[in-house]
Amino acid sequence: MTARILPAALAVLTASAAHAQQDSWTSFHGDLASTKFSNAGTITPQTVADLERAWEYHTGDVSDGAGELPETVWSATPIYANGTLYLGTPFYRIVALDPATGAERWTYDSESRLEALTQPALKNRGVAYWQSGQEGVCEKRVFLGTMDAELHAVDADTGQRCADFAEGGVLNVNQWNEVNDVFPFSLLQPPLVVGDVLLLGWAGKDWEYAVAPPGNLLAIDARTGELLWDTGFIPPEMIPQTGTANIWTAMTADAELGLVYAPVSSPSPNYWGGDRTEPLPHATSVTALDIASGEIVWTFQHVRHDIWDYDTPSAPTLVDITRDGQTIPALVQATKQGFLFVLDRRTGEPLFPIEERPVPQSTAEGEVTAPTQPFATIPAPVGGALELPEVWPLADIVSFGQCSRDREKYLYQGMFTPPSEQGTLFFPGTAGATNWGGVAVDPRSGILYSNASRIVQLIQLIPRAEYDALNPAGGGNEEGYSPQQGSPYGIYLTDWSNWAGIPCWKPPFGTFSAIDLASGELLYEVPFGKAQFHGFYGPSDWGSPTLGGPVVTASGVVFIGASMDARVRALDAATGEELWSDLVEAPAVSIPAVFTHEGEDYVVFAVGGNSILKPEVSDQAVAYRLKR
């Protein structure tokens, strides 16, 4: 770890926290606490039916992969700051729009290489915003990362590069990628801005290689681009054998405590750990670091010896919980397993019982599985993640019993059943019960809202010689073949479906839940969205798998896209009942921005699509407000 923090930076931390405004939407999750809570109050369950499209805008940055460019995946949360709406695009451009009209104010092109260097698609999850509090050129900045490891800083008013940041406004983050550098640090998630510090993780491809760049968190001076500190998550002695345990998703910070909470992903390779059997305590964890020094303060590892790609997928959400008359500063970490771990954010101590339960053991060559895994008992996991869904009679009848035969044929002994040569049913699958959208919390009531997917996958370990003979044309991280080069196994991963492509497991395929964080009680869990097969929509009680997350407002409305049926919806926060919806051009796999501009409340979705849900992409940004 290197540490060169400027003392002045910390002074700003506390100040910026005091100025946090939930009428704005200045970061990926709206605020540093990642509550995804908006004070917007005019859109209520009674008025939401009067929502209309204020405007829509097409960035032009879209590809379905059929031409020369890779497919695009656009999961950006629009940022509302400085009286402007900022979008990052999957062609690594920034678009600044008038929030009221959608009129373009300026655009900036990073001129990044449009190549799928580390991902199967060109991906972007938006931009970050920083302001110094002073007036002048580049005293307000927008930051954009690229897949080829550049961080661009531009003036928020003009879109011109900030010359005093790194080299003429462009920071080559790959200069710190010095170990096992089999791929570049892809900056798909915008940095978290805390005071004058940019906290930056990166994405890679841990399904491709056994040995990969070791995961780390970089702290960078927002004004100069200087590296303040660099904290790694893989013990130095393990670096020759493994890698990743990186941070590819959003982070959260508590400026008063001076801590950043990092959702650390699984180590490489994803599905075999025979070369990394020694403890990796920070891998697949939520880890708190001191923002001033980069020192690790505490770690909560929620998967031991991860061989399921159960990356910590989203920023934890900060909430204060009152218990026995005392207010406890807590955080909630949503996971791919569906568990919601509620921890004291000062210490990492659990606030609800967590049981260490014995789990099935692997028979794969060289593998040494962890004997136990942590199970959060309260709150109950979202999406019913503990129980493998039953075989779906409809899919079974259509396939003349294929699904039932598969159920007998493949291994499943509960959550954390290890990948196997025989084939393992994998639930929740690698896209997780929850993913980058995370959860929303109303800080006034302490009620948490979460969408969850229920996708069963089939994973097979393929011995190296057999895999090499197959010579598959590659895959991705969520489906297809992956080589795990340097390990004895390649893998094949797919959704568990019959010959007609119908899921073999019983619906619902996705749910929406509300949980009281004070008691851990599940208030409701209802099917959410509509599944779609070959264009046909399933009944409402089948639900839909989801990617993207919810926002809850002070007026008791939840806004969410996320479903595969390409609808954006408003739900009644009290019941989960759908109040309003609108058809958009593709699944809105992002988190909406909800903010108040010139006295009117707006809800803006970036509509990008994601092939995990269905092969449909778009470049549409669409804004809603109440009829005037």
Partner 1 sequence: MNKLNAIPLLPALAGVVIAAIALAGPFGNTGVDGTLGAGLALVGSVFVALVIMLVAMRPLARGWFSALMTLAMIAALLTAVAGYFLMQTLLLAAMVITLLALAFVLSRQRRSLS
Positions marked catalytic: 309
371 C-beta neighbours (distance < 10 Å), count: 12
Q: Does 566 bind partner 1 (CB under 8 A)?
A: yes
Residue whose CB is less far from partner 1, 450 or 618: 618
536 part of the interface to partner 1, by CB under 8 A = yes
| Near partner 1 by CB under 8 A: residue from 584, 588, 589, 623 | 584
Which range binds partner 1 by CB under 8 A, 115-123, 334-342, 383-391, 579-587? 579-587
Which residue, among 244, 240, 235, 266, has the nearest Cα to 118 in the 3D structure? Answer: 244
To the nearest whole angstrom, how small is the minimum distance from the Cβ of residue 324 to partner 1? 50
Nearest-approach distance from CB 453 to partner 1, in angstroms: 20
Q: What is the DSSP letter of 32?
A: T
CB of 545 to partner 1, least distance (A): 17
Are 312 and 333 contacting, i.e. CB atoms less than 8 angstroms apart? yes
Tell me: does residue 473 bind partner 1 (CB under 8 A): no
> What count of other Cβ atoms lies within 10 Å of the Cβ of residue 118?
23
String of DSSP letters for 464-487: HHHHHHH------SSSEEE--BTS
Which residue, 233 or 509, has its beta carbon nearer to partner 1? 509
Please choose, out of 34-42, 223-231, 403-411, 577-585, the segment that lies near partner 1 by the rule CB under 8 A: 577-585
Look at the chain and count its residues.
628
Minimum gap (Å) between residue 534 Cβ and partner 1: 4
Using a CB cutoff of 8 Å and minimum separation of 24, what contacts does 59-66 make? 59/87, 59/89, 59/91, 59/93, 59/95, 59/619, 59/621, 60/619, 61/89, 61/90, 61/91, 61/93, 61/619, 62/90, 62/608, 62/617, 62/618, 62/619, 63/90, 63/122, 63/617, 64/615, 64/617, 65/121
CB of 538 to partner 1, least distance (A): 8
Which span sits near partner 1 by CB under 8 A: 117-125, 307-315, 393-401, 531-539?
Answer: 531-539
**Residue 479: CA count within 13 A, CB half-sphere:** 14
Question: What's the closest the beta carbon of residue 627 comes to partner 1, in angstroms?
Answer: 21
- With tokens 């839940």, the residue in question is 513
Closer to partner 1 by Cβ: residue 280 or 584:
584
Q: How many CB atoms lie within 10 A of CB 278?
A: 12
* Residue 185 and residue 174 in contact, taking contact as beta carbons nearer than 8 Å: yes
Q: Tell me: does residue 58 bind partner 1 (CB under 8 A).
A: no
When the beta carbons of 288 and 566 are compared against partner 1, the nearer one is 566
Task: Select from 47-55, 310-318, 473-481, 535-543 the region that touches partner 1 (CB under 8 A).
Answer: 535-543
* Least gap, CB of 530 to partner 1 (angstroms): 8
Pair of tokens at residue 264: 């650390």
Token duo for residue 79:
């940022």
Nearer to partner 1, 384 or 507 (CB): 507
Which residue, 230 or 616, has its beta carbon nearer to partner 1?
Answer: 616
Using the contact rule CB under 8 A, the part of the chain among 78-86, 101-109, 375-383, 527-535 near partner 1 is 527-535
Q: Does 585 bind partner 1 (CB under 8 A)?
A: yes
565 binds partner 1 (CB under 8 A): yes
- In terms of Cα–Cα distance, which of 326, 331, 325 is closest to 344? 331
CB of 566 to partner 1, least distance (A): 6
If the CB atoms of residues 15 and 500 are measured against partner 1, the closer one turns out to be: 500
Among the listed ranges 153-161, 280-288, 485-493, 529-537, the one in contact with partner 1 (CB under 8 A) is: 529-537
Identity of the residue, 495 or 585, whose beta carbon is nearer to partner 1 in the bound complex = 585
Q: Does 535 bind partner 1 (CB under 8 A)?
A: yes
CB of 350 to partner 1, least distance (A): 43
* 417 contacts 361 by C-beta, under 8 angstroms: no
For residue 578, which of 508, 538, 529, 523 has the smallest C-alpha distance? 529
**From 67, 583, 599, 628, residue interacting with partner 1 (rule: CB under 8 A):** 583
Three-class SS state of 574: coil
CB-neighbour burial class of residue 168 (10 A; exposed 0-12, middle 13-18, buried 19+): exposed
Of 469 and 536, nearer to partner 1 (C-beta) is 536
DSSP states of 72-123: EEE-PPPEEETTEEEEE-TTSEEEEE-TTT--EEEEEE-----S-SSSSSEE
Q: Count of alpha carbons within 13 Å of 161, Cβ hemisphere only?
A: 16
User: 31 or 585: whose CB is closer to partner 1?
Assistant: 585
Candidate segments 168-176, 261-269, 431-439, 580-588, binder of partner 1 by CB under 8 A: 580-588
Q: Does 537 bind partner 1 (CB under 8 A)?
A: yes
Please, what is the minimum distance in Å from the beta carbon of residue 56 to partner 1? 10
C-beta separation of 583 from 67 below 8 A: no
Residue type, 527: P
66 makes contact with partner 1 (CB under 8 A): no
The candidate with the shortest Cα–Cα distance to 552, out of 568, 573, 567, is 573
Task: Kindly state the number of chain residues that form the binding site for partner 1, as judged by CB under 8 A.
Answer: 10
Q: Applying CB under 8 A, does 534 fall inside the site for partner 1?
A: yes
Instruction: Using CB under 8 A, list all residues that contact partner 1.
Output: 533-537, 565-566, 583-585
